[in-house]
Structure 1
């Protein structure tokens, strides 16, 4: 990966990502129905199906790109298999899962920095999942064994894995232009995810 010396006094990659995606992140959170009074078991299942329809092609494209900078453990952090377990737990057969619609309009992962931006969105979502996990357990009786494993994909290691990911981001020697490419990819990932969920009619 072509890099230049970081600009002295320039914001870190993490700071740039947080600032660049903040509004998109808040806007998406407001439209997710996890805390809606209308959310029931059927709507939860439809929501998880929509998540699978985005994560499965997204992770495949991202991890198969060969462009993720060294140091990221894809085997540890891939989330599609956990979504599959949840869908099975919620009563879907293999044939039903194979027939689920999948997102075709994915962000473009054509550079290592674009991959970093997308990974920031996917890894950051694991922190919010902790709050959602507790809410779904209280309201719907859903836990890791009956359809809620994805919301607690890293379990007790969530905090540690997030810190490790931040350390990984901090080791990337990116100049200001490369950081902006990462931010653009993260924004595209947020926007693409929201548009996909909207098309599946699962957002508020």
Structure 2
């Protein structure tokens, strides 16, 4: 008789529960499945993603609080976003001039960094569905402006499982758990507000 699969760790469960409502609310406002999605809106959307990921990834590097034990160099998204923007017609000067988000989630502890990472890594998983939509609607693929939506390629599932395993192995106390979920929620809230300010949401 095979052993039952292990239930999700309390940290993973807490992150899922605490962010579920915010996740659904943001998904409903993203224009990927709207008839309004054209190449111009898509370009502005990727530029807005760049404006959020650039300062956030820089903050991770400066604070040196990124989760240890995971190869963070494999999880940096900014170079791929820049590559997409260039494929969509922006040059280096235009990319450097893009606005950057000033109101970021506070990353003031390793637990908070885990919470932020949970949202960013989850977004890479969701990108698989968006990638197919963008291919159908706009005819774009990884070489013509949609690489970010498939940033891990065939390794997407494996890296998500590795990340969940990493979270499952963390033994956090109640206070650290609260820090992680608070940071995850803040990431969704800051991201939605930023995309709103860039006028790319429905």
The verdict on a shared fold, with TM-score over 0.5 as the criterion, is yes
Aligned structure 1 segments of 4 or more residues deviating by more than 6 angstroms: none
Say whether the 8 Å CA contact 1:114–1:185 is kept in structure 2: yes
Shift of 1:74: 1.1
* CA distance, structure 1, for counterparts of residue 104 and residue 197 of structure 2: 14
Equivalent of residue 38 in structure 1, options 36, 39, 42: 36
In structure 2, relative to structure 1, the CA distance for the partners of 1:168 and 1:149 (3 Å cut) is: same
- What is the number of residues matched between the two proteins? 196
Shift of 1:69: 3.4
Tell me the residue number matched to 1:186.
184
Tell me the residue number matched to 2:201.
203
1:37-74 deviations in Å (ceiling 9; x for gaps): 01100010000000000011011102321122321211
| 3-state SS, counterpart of residue 64 of structure 1 | helix
Tell me the residue number matched to 2:105.
107
| 3-state SS, counterpart of residue 17 of structure 2 | helix
**Cα RMSD, aligned residues only:** 1.4
Structure 1 residues 79-118: aligned runs within 5 Å: 79-118=77-116
Tell me the residue number matched to 1:157.
155
Equivalent of residue 12 in structure 2, options 11, 14, 34: 14
Equivalent of residue 117 in structure 2, options 119, 128, 134: 119
Q: Does 1:61 align with 2:63?
A: no
Shift of 1:127: 1.0
Say whether the 8 Å CA contact 1:63–1:74 is kept in structure 2: no
Say whether the 8 Å CA contact 2:83–2:145 is kept in structure 1: yes
| 3-state SS, counterpart of residue 203 of structure 1 | coil
Taking structure 1 as the reference length, the TM-score comes to 0.93
Unaligned runs of 5+ in 1: 1-9
Unaligned runs of 5+ in 2: 1-7
Say whether the 8 Å CA contact 2:66–2:72 is kept in structure 1: no
* CA distance, structure 2, for counterparts of residue 163 and residue 11 of structure 1: 13
